[in-house]
Every structure is written in structure tokens, then in C-alpha cells.
Amino acid sequence: MRILVLSKYARNGASSRYRTYQYLPFFEQLDIEVKVMPLFDESYIDQLYNSGKVSRVEYFRAFLRRISSLVTVYHYDVVLIEYEVFPYFPALFERLLSWTGIKYLVDYDDALFHQYDMHPSWLVRRLLGNKIATVMKLSEVVIAGNGYLMDYAKLAGSKRVEVIPTVVDLDNYPLTVNNKRHNSKFTIGWIGSPTTARYLQLICPALREFCEASGSHVRIVGSGEIELPGVDIEIVEWSEEDEIEMLHTFDVGIMPLPNEYWARGKCGFKLIQYMACGLPVIASPVGVNSDIVEHGVNGFLAKTTEEWVAALNALLSDSLLRQNMGEAGRSKVERQYSLQVTAPHLAGILSSVA
């Protein structure tokens, strides 16, 4: 079986790294030939995160790169598309694939459709508001990262929808006993990108109150420059090589989210990473967070400042609670959110289409 993956990013793009690239060694073991051809190469992510802007030259190169990829689709049994062929462009190429008999699947780990149907420009809403629904309907299978995305795909009239969460490879996540972490201060941890770091502002009052009272601090990985007034923070640059080691320095992992449509499409990957490291978690009860976090078992769900502070105080004061919650979280990842579970599922889906 030969598969062409039209990913959005190269390996340094988190969504593509975890939705595509980490599956490649598993597919190789099954003698499944996979060719990944990203729309945006590594320089795109570097420009976006370093300056917040991407040059027009980079977009033009991406366009040419994707066109050259499409020329090769006839050499493969199945085409797997991350999100869409071209962003901010009608579903013309997806229609062409369908009309010419090319079998394609689409994969979503974000509510990309809200990028169009809730765009501030009426023209974008008018021209592209139903684009992702069309892409989904024409595909052989929609692979959705959570129930919110699954529901949209079903309403779009998709032939088949399969839910595969964004997961971790447990072979890369050795356990460290939570109550033996060697932090001089109780450490609240967050990992992500500059585009999602703004959500930390939502709980700044809770973090400030808790850190001032307890002498704790917040370690933030991958955010770039961020200000949380009154909060003792440490900003750490993200790297793939040091990512898991850095997660093991946390005492608790957090994932605040606003109760908005876009946030409801998130796949809760931060929580899965924390839990894979045996960490207790605290999260906003938004979208899939409420499925991943079992309140009082592997972590806490918190809405208000008072609830966030209470959850942090409970974990600060009870190392055994931290350990028990961390063990429960790790167990859940092993059962539901690991590559060891989802890779055979994905391989089966691809085989059934081919």
C-alpha cells in the first residue's frame, strides 16, 4: 500500500508532527509506504513564531510545493490530507480529486471550519463558509480528533467518520514519580505555542493569588514573550529534544481555555502530554477537556478563579494526591491516548479505503 500524505506543516509544526510524522515508524513496520509532502516547510513555522509574520515568498513557495505534490497523486493508493489542499481557497482541488476517482481522506485536530464560517469578513464567510463541509463530504473518510469535530463532519454529510485523538508515543514518555520531583518551588507547568499562550491570561488572577500566597511559580514552555503581571514566571524555549524532560519538571500541568467555538475543537493534547508524564492536571471544562479530565480522579476541572486556586492548593498540600492523580492519568493515556492504541486503528482505516 502506498500512501501520500499532504500535511500542512513539516515536522516542526506540532499538529503535523503528532498527527502524521510520529506514525511513520509504525507504518514502516507494516511495510506501508508513506510519502509526506508538507504545504509549509520548516522556515514557515520559524518565521511565524519568531516574527509573527510570514513573507509572501514563503507563501508562493508553498503554493508551488503543493502543486508539485498534486501532480504525483496518481502514483498512490490513498491520499491523506491534513485539513485542506490549500487554505483560503475554494475546494476546487478536492473536487478534482473526487471527480477523477482519487480516494482521499481528511484529518482534523482543530475546528478549522470556524476559520471560515466565523471569519470577520463577510466575503470570506460567503465564499468559504461551507468549504470544509464540502471537503469532508467528498472524502472517503473524515478522521476527527474529538467529538466536536466528528459531529460537524456528520452534519456535513460525510460518508464515514472515525475519531482518532492526538496521542503520544509512550515509548518516549518514561515515568517519574511525581512526589520525588526536585523543585525548590512548587511548579505549575504549561506547554504550547505562541498562538495558544494567550489563554494563560484567562487565569492570571488565579495564578497571581496562588503564587503570591504559596511562593510557587509558573514554568511556561514554548510561549515566546508573555506577560502575566504579578506572577512569578519562567519562560523556556521549546525544543523537540528537551520537551519531555521539561514536562517532568512540572508538579502540575494546566490547560486553560475560553468557552468559545474554536476552543471546543481543541484536542486537549497538552493534557495528554502531562498525564503521560504522570502529572495531575487542571483544565477548563471546555470541549474535549471534560472527557480527558476525570474531576477528582486524574485532575481537576476549574471554571472560576476560586476553583483554580482551590485546585492548586489541594495539589500543593497533598503530595500523595498528586501521585495518585498522576498514576490515574498515565493509566488513561495508556488505555486511550497512546500511539500504541491508535496506530493500528489508523492503519486499518487506510487499508480499508485502499
Cα 316 to Cα 187: distance, rounded to the nearest angstrom? 9
Q: How many CA atoms lie within 13 A of 258 on its CB side?
A: 10
112 within 8 A of 132, measured Cβ to Cβ: yes
> Do 2-167+339-353 and 170-337 agree at the fold level?
yes
Q: Which of 199, 210, 202 is nearest to 314 (CA)?
A: 210
Match 484529518 to its residue by C-alpha cell.
107
Question: Does residue 111 surpass a pLDDT of 80?
Answer: yes
pLDDT value, residue 44: 86
pLDDT, mean of residues 61-68: 94
DSSP assignment string, 216-249 = -EEEEES--S---TT--EEEE---TTTHHHHHTT
Cα 197 to Cα 201: distance, rounded to the nearest angstrom? 8
Q: Cα-flanking dihedrals φ and ψ of residue 254, to 5°?
A: -125, 155
pLDDT tens digits along 324-337: 999 999 999 999 99
Cα 1 to Cα 232: distance, rounded to the nearest angstrom? 53
Cell matching residue 247: 514536562
pLDDT tens digits along 201-230: 999 999 999 999 999 999 999 988 898 999
pLDDT value, residue 43: 86
Cα 48 to Cα 99: distance, rounded to the nearest angstrom? 35
pLDDT tens digits along 231-254: 999 999 988 889 999 999 999 999
pLDDT tens digits along 67-105: 999 999 999 999 999 999 999 999 999 999 999 999 999
pLDDT value, residue 55: 85
pLDDT tens digits along 258-295: 999 989 999 999 999 999 999 999 999 999 999 999 99
Taking CA atoms, 275 is separated from 110, 197, 203, 311, 337, in Å, by 21, 20, 21, 16, 10
2-167+339-353 folds as Rossmann fold (3.40.50)
Local structure of residue 77 (DSSP, 8 states): S
Strand duo 78-82 + 161-163: pairing: unpaired
Taking the domains of the chain in order of start, what are their residue ranges? Answer: 2-167+339-353, 170-337
Kindly report each contact of residues 155-164 with a partner whose C-beta sits within 8 Å and lies 24 or more positions away, as own/partner. 156/132, 157/133, 162/345, 162/349, 164/342, 164/345, 164/346
Percent of the chain scoring above 70 in pLDDT: 98
Cα 218 to Cα 209: distance, rounded to the nearest angstrom? 12
Match 496521542 to its residue by C-alpha cell.
167
Q: Cα-flanking dihedrals φ and ψ of residue 311, to 5°?
A: -65, -45
Q: Whole-model pTM above 0.85? A: yes
CATH code for the structural domain at 170-337:
3.40.50.2000
CB atoms within 10 A of CB 248: 16
Q: What stretches of 176-304 show up as alpha helix (H) in DSSP?
A: 204-214, 243-247, 261-264, 269-276, 289-292
Strand duo 141-144 + 104-108: pairing: parallel
CB atoms within 10 A of CB 57: 9
